[in-house]
């Protein structure tokens, strides 16, 4: 398996523009997570899905952020409109439900977002 695939690897945009980050989880994984990493705040969990259904989005910072998972092999994280403080590395991760909680996460390589 190719692992969790994220695109783009780098995104530079101007304030006010819409940004869409994409993620393809590992085939067969039931859970998908979106994290954001900054120097100041570390890794923050934004939202996670189980079987394509959003379970907890309490980490989504504002209404400007939205996430979807239309099928088991694709998810998007959208920021509209983007602001400079959204600059961060955004990671997608997936895991497999084996009947136990807290199974290990497999991370993508991340998207480095810079909002000018």
Partner 1 sequence: SQQGEEDPQALSIQEGENATMNCSYKTSINNLQWYRQNSGRGLVHLILIRSNEREKHSGRLRVTLDTSKKSSSLLITASRAADTASYFCVAGAGSYQLTFGKGTKLSVIP
Q: What is the DSSP string of 16-40?
A: T--EEEEEEPPTT--EEEEEEEETT
Instruction: Report the site for partner 1 in 9-48 (rule: CB under 8 A).
Output: 31, 33, 35, 42-43, 45, 48
Report the Cα 37 to chain-centroid distance in Å. Answer: 11
Residues 75-114, one symbol each (x = binds partner 1 by CB under 8 A, - = not), give ----------------x-x-x----xxx-xxxxxxx----
Closer to partner 1 at the Cβ: 35 or 65? Answer: 35
Distance CA 14, CA 22 (A): 19
CA atoms within 13 A on the CB side of 59: 18
Task: List residues binding partner 1 (CB under 8 A).
Answer: 4, 31, 33, 35, 42-43, 45, 48, 50, 55-56, 91, 93, 95, 100-102, 104-110
């Amino acid at each position: 398996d190719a692992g969790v695939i994220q695109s783009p690897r780098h995104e530079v945009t101007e304030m006010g523009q819409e940004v869409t980050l994409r993620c393809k989880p590992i085939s067969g994984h039931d859970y998908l997570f979106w994290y954001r990493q900054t120097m100041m705040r570390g890794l923050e969990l934004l939202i996670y899905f189980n079987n394509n259904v959003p379970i907890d989005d309490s980490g989504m910072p504002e209404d400007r952020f939205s996430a979807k998972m239309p099928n088991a092999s694709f998810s998007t994280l959208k920021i509209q409109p983007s602001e400079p403080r959204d600059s961060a590395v955004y990671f997608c991760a997936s895991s497999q439900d084996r009947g136990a909680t807290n199974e290990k996460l497999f991370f993508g390589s991340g998207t480095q977002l810079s909002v000018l």
